[in-house]
Amino acid sequence: MLTRHSPSRGAGSPDIWGFYEEASGSIQYVCADPSTRKAALIDVVLNYNPAEARTSTESADEILAHVKREGLTVQWILDTHPHADHMMAAAYLKEKLGVPMAIGEKVVEIAELWRGLYNLPDAFDPVRDFDVLWDDGASFAIGELDVRVMLSPGHTLGSITYVVGDAAFVHDTLMYPDMGSSRADFPGGSSRVLWQSIQEILSLPPQTRLFVGHDYGAKGRDDIRWEATVAEHRRDNIHVKDGSVESQFTQIRDARDATLELPARILPALQVNLRGGRLPPPESDGHRYLKIPVDRF
């Protein structure tokens, strides 16, 4: 798995490792306090093979092995939103590590929305299945590093950003500058709201390192990238650089989104992610089943 280290810049600045999961184009993160060696795991993937409807844990296990090699102690298992393109490994990591798993509080509203779309009125209880539901402005610590939670909706109605010193994990708001921004057409999403969230992120200090949730490569480069500063986004981001206006952004974003199919993993993944990374309970034959709405989208 492609891995890169973004080293601490000094006091109050985290060490960050990114791990690229090729099948879904997802970047998973380890964020650590250099002084205490305490860490958080962010947006870790539970691997899923759609052709066989089979889950596996190789990505999470590789990250756990990295944590052990680096001598880190994990304090938190964090997700930024209920992902549409991969299953989350939070429940598996909690089983291995025994530390709390957390996500934004508006996952409760997302769960209500998807109960209706799946016709599963008794499914999904985020209050039960997550240990902490962050509200906008919540704060906590990774070792001696202060963390602030920003509500950053638009991609989903409950997406959040984690700001840790001079770093921010901005999930599926922004892409790398040459790719612009992420889609806003999922149920509960909004390009207008996404624009507002991005403006708040880009108001962070210019040298803040922004870590995005996905990269698929771009025309003119053959590598995968996930880190750029606020200043670099404001200078180079093709959708939201300085001088961009909301009306132009929403027009471009909505036109692009209208051409996109749903991610291949969204309908299986959300049934798992809205349970905190747990598969549905076994049925009478001892096996677990996913429910797929037909002709709904």
Average pLDDT for residues 268-297, to the nearest whole number? Answer: 95
- Give me the CATH number covering residue 194: 3.60.15.10
Pairing mode, strands 3-6 and 15-21: antiparallel
Q: Is residue 65 part of a domain?
A: yes
pLDDT in tens, 237-280: 999 999 999 999 999 999 999 999 999 899 999 999 999 999 99
Res. 221 pLDDT band, cuts 50 70 90: confident
CA atoms of 163 and 150, how far apart (whole Å) = 8
Q: Is residue 75 part of a domain?
A: yes
Q: Is residue 269 part of a domain?
A: no
pLDDT in tens, 14-32: 999 999 999 999 999 999 9
Tell me if the pTM is above 0.85: yes
Q: Is residue 280 part of a domain?
A: no
Q: Is residue 268 part of a domain?
A: no
Dihedral pair phi/psi, residue 42, rounded to 5°: -125, 125
Give the whole-number percent of the chain exceeding pLDDT 90: 97
Contacts of 252 (CB under 8 A, 6+ apart): 239
Q: 37 is in which domain, residue-wise? A: 13-217+224-261
pLDDT of residue 251: 97
pLDDT of residue 112: 96
Give the whole-number percent of the chain exceeding pLDDT 70: 100
Q: Is residue 91 part of a domain?
A: yes
Secondary structure class of 62 (helix, strand, coil): helix
pLDDT of residue 297: 86
Angle (deg, nearest 10), helices 90-97 and 58-70: 40
Q: Is residue 195 part of a domain?
A: yes
pLDDT of residue 48: 96
Q: Is residue 250 part of a domain?
A: yes
* Residue 37 reports pLDDT greater than 90: yes
What amino acid occupies position 177?
P
**Range 1-8, long-range pairs (CB < 8 A, 24+ positions):** 1/59, 1/62, 2/224, 3/66, 4/226, 4/227, 6/167, 6/209, 6/211, 6/227, 8/34
Number of independent structural domains in the chain: 1
In angstroms, the first-to-last Cα distance of the chain is: 33
Tell me how long the chain is. Answer: 297
* Residue 225 reports pLDDT greater than 90: yes
pLDDT in tens, 94-149: 999 999 999 999 999 999 999 999 999 999 999 999 999 999 999 999 999 999 99
DSSP 135: P
* Residue 177 reports pLDDT greater than 90: yes
Res. 217 pLDDT band, cuts 50 70 90: confident
Q: Please name the residue ranges forming H helices in 98-245.
A: 107-118, 126-129, 191-201, 230-236
Please give the full DSSP string across 235-275, using - where no structure is assigned.
Answer: HH-TTTSTT--HHHHHHHHHHHHTTPPPPTTHHHHHHHHTT
